[in-house]
Copies of this chain bind each other. A is one copy, B any other.
Amino acid sequence: MNGQILERSVVLASGGLDSTVTAAIARRDGYALHLLTVAYQQRHAVEVERSRQVATALKADQHVVIDVDLRAIGGSALTGDMSVPKHRTEFERNRDVPVTYVPGRNLVFLSLAAAHAEVLNASIIYFGANVIDYSGYPDCRQEFIQAVEATLQVGTKAGMQGKGIEIRAPLLRMTKAEIIKLGLTLNVPFHLTHSCYDPIGSIACGQCDSCLIRKRGFEEAGVVDPIQYAVC
């Protein structure tokens, strides 16, 4: 980049497929990458380790991991004692808010990203939300993202000074196959990404909603998924 100073972006990076493609998009768009990972005591904590590997692979300018103990609140299969459902159909996944929904999670994540953006004087947050695969999650929808942007406009120092913080969710309406194809063109290190809600060690279970969606995405994209699954 010829020593040019790039504008900073904060990227919410979970170590998953979508957020890694999102980080690659932020780089393509010409921003410096300040990755932010929230370690929320999730069942699939291997994500956090993968986020570190992704940050290294993408040569991120900074990677901050914040600990937030959402297990203290519970209310989700990802942080509490409920079990993660397996082998559900698309119809079942979209019927209602799934037990893998973590109350308030994306708002907590975006709040932390906004705080980080304020400190860095960054005016953009990249957020890998997707409404196609997660239509049952209220906090993956466009109207939610717009409401958070409006909140940041009135509730941050940056907003008070007339400089808003944009939340860019480039994957919002893309199918998993489209996301994967785009990721390929951006050399996303898919082999490092982790999607499974209920891994055995670091191996994806192959049966939870997130594994099923990922596997079908690779199939539809006509590409081999480079990660290992316990059950294919």
Contacts of A116 in B (CB 8 A): 73, 103-104
The one of B69, B102, B139 that contacts A155, using a Cβ cutoff of 8 Å: B139
8 Å CB interface, A44-92 against B: 64-70, 72-75
Residue in B72, B75, B155, B159 whose beta carbon sits within 8 Å of that of A66 in the complex: B72
Q: Does A227 contact B (CB under 8 A)?
A: no
Q: Does A111 contact B (CB under 8 A)?
A: yes
* Count of chain copies: 2
Taking a contact as CB atoms under 8 Å apart, the answer to whether B159 and A155 are in contact is no
Interface of A, secondary structure class, is helix
Within 8 Å by CB of A157, from B107, B119, B138, B157, lies B138
Residue A182 is within 8 A (CB to CB) of chain B in the complex: no
CA distance A155 to B144 in the complex (A): 5
By size class, the interface of chain A is 35 or more
What is the CA–CA distance of A70 and B116 in the complex, to the nearest angstrom?
9
Instruction: Give the chain B neighbours of A154 by CB distance below 8 A.
Output: 138, 141, 143-144, 147
Complex-state Cα separation, A138 to B150, whole angstroms: 13
Residues of B within 8 A of A118 (CB): 75, 103-104
Give A residues with C-beta under 8 Å from B.
Answer: 64-70, 72-75, 97, 101-108, 111-112, 114-116, 118-119, 138-139, 141, 143-144, 147-148, 150-157, 159-160
